[in-house]
Chain A
Amino acid sequence: MRILEHPVLGKLKEKEKVKIRVDGKEIEAFRGEPIAATLMANGIKIFRYTRKYRASRGIFCALGRCTDCVMTVNGIPNTRTCVTPVENGMEIETQHSLGRLK
């Protein structure tokens, strides 16, 4: 996720800040980082609730394979947040089950 000081790569370079909204609340992010990194850095660990058992899910594999981390991004459900970079103005919603048709 967001690594501020890496033992080999050194300090995280300052990148341009962008603003995204998560469940209506505005949050600052570094442009281009995975959505999941922004959320984790802001203490948001629950990304969605499953369909059957309404269990909470967040990061699991963190490499775009397991689909545990999916959220509804800009209205599109089942978006893998660990491999999707943030963009300014992104609307991110905690996904409940399959999401909603708008």
Chain B
Amino acid sequence: MDEELIICRCEEITKEEIVDAIRKGARSISAVKRRTGAGKGLCQGKSCGRLVARILNEEIGIPIRETIPATYRPPIRPIPVSDLGGVKIDGAND
């Protein structure tokens, strides 16, 4: 019954799909993301990341504090392509 629970709201990935990926070898949030797509939507895992960590803990006992998070990448929130096109800021890469 639990299985149909939507974990990744953005991409509509169910708990069952995530559990399945874990049972077939996924051991981290990134690994679950690659196989199921959970965390690839508009919110980029802000909502489901911690839930996936909890499911990893339930399924294979990885302590939450040891769960390897998905790589943090810019942007923090969606930013229009046109806002960035051609922008040059000195020292931005430092």
Interface positions of A from 50 to 69, Cβ below 8 Å from B? 50-53, 55, 57, 60-61, 64-68
B9: chain A residues within 8 A (beta carbon)? 57, 60, 66, 68
B42 touches which one: A53, A55, A60, A78 (CB < 8 A)?
A78
What is the CA–CA distance of A28 and B9 in the complex, to the nearest angstrom? 31
What is the CA–CA distance of A60 and B41 in the complex, to the nearest angstrom? 15
Judging by beta carbons under 8 Å apart, are B12 and A67 in contact?
no
Is the contact region of chain A dominated by helix, strand, or loop, or is it mixed? Answer: loop
Residues of chain A at interface, number, CB under 8 A: 15
Judging by beta carbons under 8 Å apart, are A61 and B47 in contact?
yes
B6: chain A residues within 8 A (beta carbon)? 55
Minimum CB–CB distance for B46 against chain A, Å? 5
Judging by beta carbons under 8 Å apart, are B43 and A65 in contact?
yes
Minimum CB–CB distance for A47 against chain B, Å? 13
Is the contact region of chain B dominated by helix, strand, or loop, or is it mixed? Answer: loop
Q: Mark B33-72, 1 if CB is under 8 A from A, else 0.
A: 0000000011100110000000000000000000000000
B42: chain A residues within 8 A (beta carbon)? 67, 70, 78
Judging by beta carbons under 8 Å apart, are B78 and A64 in contact?
no
Task: Give the nearest-CB partner of A83 in chain B.
Answer: B77
A68: chain B residues within 8 A (beta carbon)? 9
Minimum CB–CB distance for A80 against chain B, Å? 8
Knowing A50-B12, A60-B9, A67-B10, say if A78 contacts B78 (CB, 8 Å). yes
Task: Give the nearest-CB partner of B48 in chain A.
Answer: A66
Judging by beta carbons under 8 Å apart, are B43 and A51 in contact?
no
A interface residues with partner B (beta carbon < 8 Å) = 50-53, 55, 57, 60-61, 64-68, 70, 78
B interface residues with partner A (beta carbon < 8 Å) = 6, 9-12, 41-43, 46-47, 77-78
Q: Which 4 A-B pairs have the closest CB atoms?
A: A67-B42, A52-B12, A67-B43, A66-B47
